Amino acid sequence: MQSPDPTAEDESQAVSRRIQRLSLHLTPNYPFPRNDAAQQLELVECASKAAKLTVDTSSLSNYMRGKHREIQDRVLDYFNKRPELQTPVEILKDDHRELCMKQLVGLVREAGIRPFRYVVDDPAKYFAILEAVGSVDMSLGIKMGVQYSLWGGSVLNLGTKKHKDKYFDGIDNMEYPGCFAMTELHHGSNVQGIQTVAAFDPLTDEFIIDTPNDGAIKWWIGNAAVHGKFATVFAKLMLPTHDTKGITDMGVHAFIVPIRDFKTHQTLPGIEIHDCGHKVGLNGVDNGALRFCSVRIPRDNLLNRFGDVSRDGKYTSSLPSINKRFAATLGELVGGRVGLAYSSVSVLKIAATIAIRYSLLRQQFGPPKQPEVSILDYQSQQHKLMPMLASTYAFHFATLHLVEKYSEMKKFHDEQLVGDVHSLSAGLKAYVTAYTAKSLSICRESCGGHGYAAVNRFGSLRNDHDIFQTFEGDNTVLLQQVAGDLLKQYKEKFQGGTLTVTWNYLRESMNSYLSQPNPVTARWESEEHLRDPKFQLDAFRYRTSRLLQSVAVRLRKHSKTLGSFGAWNRCLNHLLTLAESHIESVILAKFVEAVQKCPDPSSRAALKLVCDLYALERIWKDIGTYRNVDYVAPNKAKAIHKLMEYLSFQVRNIARELVDTFDIPDYVTRAPIAMQSDAYSHYTHYVGF
Are the C-beta atoms of residues 96 and 309 closer than 8 Å to each other? no
Are the C-beta atoms of residues 183 and 119 closer than 8 Å to each other? no
Whole-number pLDDT of residue 668: 81
**DSSP assignments along 356-370, one per residue:** HHHHHH-B---STTS
Q: Closest by alpha carbon to 293, among 201, 211, 207?
A: 211
| 3-state class (DSSP) for residue 526 | coil
Residue 48 — pLDDT band, cuts 50, 70, 90? very low
Q: What mean pLDDT do residues 363-374 have? A: 90
What digits encode the pLDDT tens for the residues 101-131? 999 999 999 999 999 999 988 999 999 999 9
Number of neighbouring beta carbons within 10 Å of residue 298: 12
Please report, in range form, the residues annotated as the binding site for FAD: 183, 222
Q: Please, which residues bridge with residue 178 across strands?
A: 230
Whole-number pLDDT of residue 687: 64
> CA–CA distance from 325 to each of 162, 308, 426 (Å)?
20, 11, 19
Show the beta-strand stretches assigned E in 567-684: none
Distance from C-alpha of 655 to C-alpha of 609, rounded to nearest angstrom: 12
Whole-number pLDDT of residue 23: 44
At residue 513, does pLDDT exceed 80?
Answer: no
Q: Which of 184, 332, 472, 527 is catalytic?
A: 472
Task: Kindly state the percentage of the chain with pLDDT values over 90.
Answer: 72
At residue 465, does pLDDT exceed 50?
Answer: yes
At residue 99, does pLDDT exceed 70?
Answer: yes
What digits encode the pLDDT tens for the residues 557-592? 999 999 999 999 999 999 999 999 999 999 999 999
What digits encode the pLDDT tens for the residues 65-76? 888 999 999 999
Whole-number pLDDT of residue 162: 97
Establish whether 472 is a catalytic residue: yes
Are the C-beta atoms of residues 536 and 615 closer than 8 Å to each other? yes
Number of neighbouring beta carbons within 10 Å of residue 310: 12
> CA–CA distance from 451 to each of 99, 182, 362, 676, 685 (Å)?
26, 37, 12, 17, 17
Instruction: Show Cβ contacts of residue 324 under 8 Å, excluding neighbours closer than 6 positions.
Output: none
Number of neighbouring beta carbons within 10 Å of residue 471: 18
Q: What mean pLDDT do residues 538-558 have? A: 92
| 3-state class (DSSP) for residue 560 | helix
Q: Please, which residues bridge with residue 253 across strands?
A: 235
CA 449 to chain centroid, in Å, comes to 28
| 3-state class (DSSP) for residue 289 | strand
Whole-number pLDDT of residue 29: 41
Q: Are strands 247-258 and 230-240 parallel, antiparallel or unpaired?
A: antiparallel
Are the C-beta atoms of residues 676 and 666 closer than 8 Å to each other? yes
Residue 37 — pLDDT band, cuts 50, 70, 90? very low
What digits encode the pLDDT tens for the residues 642-656? 999 999 999 999 999
> CA–CA distance from 32 to each of 29, 233, 324, 452, 524 (Å)?
9, 62, 57, 41, 12
> CA–CA distance from 181 to each of 192, 209, 446 (Å)?
14, 12, 40
Distance from C-alpha of 581 to C-alpha of 626, rounded to nearest angstrom: 13
At residue 24, does pLDDT exceed 50?
Answer: no
